[in-house]
Structure 1
Amino acid sequence: MFRAKTVLVIGAGASVEVGLPMGSQLLKQIVKLTNIKFEFNRQNAGDHDIVEALKLCLDEGGEVTKLNKHLAAGRQLGESAKQALSIDNVIDALEDPQIELVGKIGIVRAILKAEAASPAFKSTQGMPDTMDLSQFNDTWYGSLTKILTENVRKSQVHSLFDNLEIINFNYDRCLEHYLPISLASYYGLKPEAIREVMQGLTIHRPYGIAGRLPWQTGDAPSVGFGEGSPQLLADVAQQVRTFTERVEEGEALAAMRATIAGADRVVFLGFAFHRQNVELLAQKMQSHSELVATAYQISKSDKSVIEDELGKAFEHEFVMHDTRIQLADMTCAQFFREYWRTLTAEKGDHEPFTTPDFSHHLPNIPSFQGLDG
């Protein structure tokens, strides 16, 4: 279990280990899905469900004037994407509501397809709420289950998420889908029992989500994991946000920053440290608080800049290479293995730690340059 107040800040790189795309990969998939073309009144390119979702959003009956303009916007999205960092950058730069709608529907469609295609989440024998949990042994998901269950008995499952909050910059629902099945299997319970406990786990979503899962409370439309229909695509597209629509004021932002302010330990996973996202979290931390993060394949010079920017954003008396701020050149899975004691320590409970250099034998995984973090 987590013995200190811990905040996990999850970026695009954290989902890579379970088969979800990073920002650059997601952009390519969205371009393919939204490059919709017709020949002799028959669609011969792009995704059919996106076309139907657009029809539902535009509600123009038998007319296709608005639809054709949006399909043209989709093709411009693809042209701009050839030189873009992410889908968010395209939508933000072009300032076109038609491109924004096509892009958002494309985001949801790509995320739901990626959820369905992930080998890790494939149900066993076609049974719902099942998966081969051994698929997660070499991922940080498996390590998270081990931390949560350490010294927690079956009669204490209500305390599994004590001292934990999550800030998730991704659109996918992988973690929420995984945890009830994994923890229920460990304790010999039904997933519903863990889902009830998870209602008390705070998960902040500054960029929204590709639909709440059916078991989650709320008024927004629900979508089964890896499922979706044209109607749901049309509905859920309004639940995702871009750079300019991120949570920038009000109770949601105040709650997220209060989480940072009250944390003993903030852990960044697969986060690319985009400046607008760091600024979104900016909040004075406690003097004893620690900040640890994966910084896989980030250069030494860039890590120095990131350390300085983090110190300023969180108004912490960080000194360069202070033991309270560590950027580890590791994947998320390796980070959990190497920082196990750190992650499970009480506040101020451990000796200063240093980051080993594993770069000479890390697997060849692309840099985390996704839009989500």
Structure 2
Amino acid sequence: MFNRPVVFVIGAGASADYDMPLGGTLASTIAEDVNFRFRGNSRSEPIRGDNILYELLVSKFNKDGAQLDSYVAAGHKLAAAISSAASVDDALYQLSEFPEAIQLGKACIIRSILKAERNSALKFSPDTGRLPDSAGKDGWIEQVLSIAIAGLRHAQFPEAFKKVTFVNFNYDRCLEHYLFWSFQRLGLSADEATKIVDGLTIIRPYGTVGSVLDGRLDHVPFGDGSRLDVFNMLDRIRTFTESDALHDKEQLERLLSEAFMCVFLGFGFHKQNLDLLARSKNLQKTEVPRILATIYKVHDGNLPALTTALADRLRVNNPRIELLPMKAPELLQELRLRLTLVLG
């Protein structure tokens, strides 16, 4: 069990273990979806681009041909920007003066995340409509769950994550989805699992497509395949180029200050994301005892600058930062003993 406060910072690399898309894959998919092409002057059905997305645009702007054309043009701008950008977010920043492109990009992100959830390693079984018991057992969430419930009886499971904070920079709901079904696999009722997931401390700087928990106002089933009007859901997410991140900055700084350890899993260390984690420069360094971070496939030449950036943002002395060339599940497996001794 985690008896001391710990913060897990979750990046796209962690979700990639469940077959969720990394930035480059997501960008190329969105570029294909929005690059609408038609036969002649017809606007009835695109011969290139995502038909369902276009149908959503038609249903929303069919009575305003000029507005519909502006979104089609925005799709061309977005596809062109993505072709030379490092990510969808970078492309949207380039197009920040074109609101239609921003809205279209965010709508595509929501649709792409739901589709990726639907096809992920955590997809529902078509036979039972549930998460198969074996799904995701090799992933990082199972490793965290296993540490959290170690030494606990069933009646104590609701206490398993009381000292845990997740700072999740991803839009997907793999974490909540997996824990909801895993607690049921372990013998809890759906209501009991719901209460635990509802009580998790999850900070999402960029929001999410909605809650996986039934009955919530923003409920969207994991991998929802229905034709949602995603244009009515745009306020649920932010891109990293939007200034109004969807979290309480004071709460995040407090939780980081209270943590005995901060563990980065699959994090890309983009400057904007690191800035969102920055603690007050008035704080003395070493106030967070230890940082562990996965740096899978990060070149050694980047490590001195990365260590300095983490030290400056989190107010930690360099020797307290460990960068490990592992994936998220490997770090949690190989260092389980250490995590248990330090945090248990």
Provide the TM-score with structure 1 as the length reference. Answer: 0.84
Contact 1:294 1:332 in 2 (8 A): yes
Deviation, 1:261, is 1.4
**Partners in 1 of 2:239 and 2:330 — Cα distance?**
31
Percent identity among equivalent residues?
Answer: 32
1:325 to 321, 327, 342: 321
- Whether 1:113 and 2:109 are equivalent positions in the alignment is no
Deviation, 1:241, is 0.5
Match of 2:52 in 1: 49
Deviation, 1:148, is 1.9
Contact 1:208 1:239 in 2 (8 A): yes
**Partners in 2 of 1:159 and 1:286 — Cα distance?**
28
Match of 2:36 in 1: 36
Q: Write out aligned runs for 1:262-273 (5 A).
A: 262-273=258-269
1:275 to 251, 271, 276: 271
**Partners in 2 of 1:33 and 1:275 — Cα distance?**
28
- Whether 1:88 and 2:85 are equivalent positions in the alignment is no
1:335 to 331, 334, 339: 331
Match of 2:224 in 1: 227
Deviation, 1:45, is 2.1
**Partners in 1 of 2:339 and 2:228 — Cα distance?**
42
**Partners in 2 of 1:139 and 1:231 — Cα distance?**
29
**Matched residue SS, 1:85:** coil
**Matched residue SS, 1:165:** strand
**Partners in 2 of 1:87 and 1:208 — Cα distance?**
16
Deviation, 1:125, is 4.5
With over 3 angstroms needed to count, the CA separation of the structure-2 counterparts of 1:146 and 1:343, relative to structure 1, is same
Match of 1:304 in 2: 304
Match of 1:260 in 2: 256
**Partners in 2 of 1:198 and 1:94 — Cα distance?**
37
Contact 2:107 2:230 in 1 (8 A): yes
With over 3 angstroms needed to count, the CA separation of the structure-2 counterparts of 1:55 and 1:206, relative to structure 1, is farther
Match of 2:6 in 1: 6
Match of 1:71 in 2: 72
**Partners in 2 of 1:248 and 1:262 — Cα distance?**
22
**Partners in 1 of 2:295 and 2:119 — Cα distance?**
27
User: Counterpart amino acid of 1:238?
Assistant: D
**Partners in 2 of 1:18 and 1:216 — Cα distance?**
26
Deviation, 1:124, is 2.7
**Partners in 1 of 2:162 and 2:109 — Cα distance?**
33
- Whether 1:210 and 2:206 are equivalent positions in the alignment is no
**Partners in 2 of 1:216 and 1:197 — Cα distance?**
15
Provide the TM-score with structure 2 as the length reference. Answer: 0.91
**Matched residue SS, 2:291:** strand
Deviation, 1:254, is 1.5
With over 3 angstroms needed to count, the CA separation of the structure-2 counterparts of 1:246 and 1:166, relative to structure 1, is farther
**Partners in 2 of 1:113 and 1:62 — Cα distance?**
29
Contact 2:90 2:241 in 1 (8 A): no
Deviation, 1:278, is 0.8
Match of 1:104 in 2: 106
What is the CA deviation profile of residues 207-257 of structure 1, one whole-angstrom value per residue up to 9, with x for unaligned ones? 11122224374x5x32111115444312222211112325459x7121122
With over 3 angstroms needed to count, the CA separation of the structure-2 counterparts of 1:302 and 1:115, relative to structure 1, is same
With over 3 angstroms needed to count, the CA separation of the structure-2 counterparts of 1:307 and 1:228, relative to structure 1, is same
User: Counterpart amino acid of 1:63?
Assistant: D
**Partners in 2 of 1:79 and 1:60 — Cα distance?**
23
**Matched residue SS, 2:170:** coil
With over 3 angstroms needed to count, the CA separation of the structure-2 counterparts of 1:342 and 1:213, relative to structure 1, is same
- Number of residue pairs matched by the alignment: 336
**Partners in 2 of 1:137 and 1:197 — Cα distance?**
19
**Partners in 2 of 1:295 and 1:165 — Cα distance?**
21
User: Counterpart amino acid of 1:98?
Assistant: E
1:239 to 216, 236, 239: 236
What is the CA deviation profile of residues 131-153 of structure 1, one whole-angstrom value per residue up to 9, with x for unaligned ones? 22323232212212211221111
User: Counterpart amino acid of 2:340?
Assistant: T
Contact 1:262 1:286 in 2 (8 A): no
Match of 2:160 in 1: 160
Deviation, 1:286, is 5.5
Aligned CA-pair RMSD: 2.1
**Matched residue SS, 2:238:** coil
User: Counterpart amino acid of 2:199?
Assistant: G
With over 3 angstroms needed to count, the CA separation of the structure-2 counterparts of 1:161 and 1:203, relative to structure 1, is same
**Partners in 1 of 2:300 and 2:2 — Cα distance?**
30
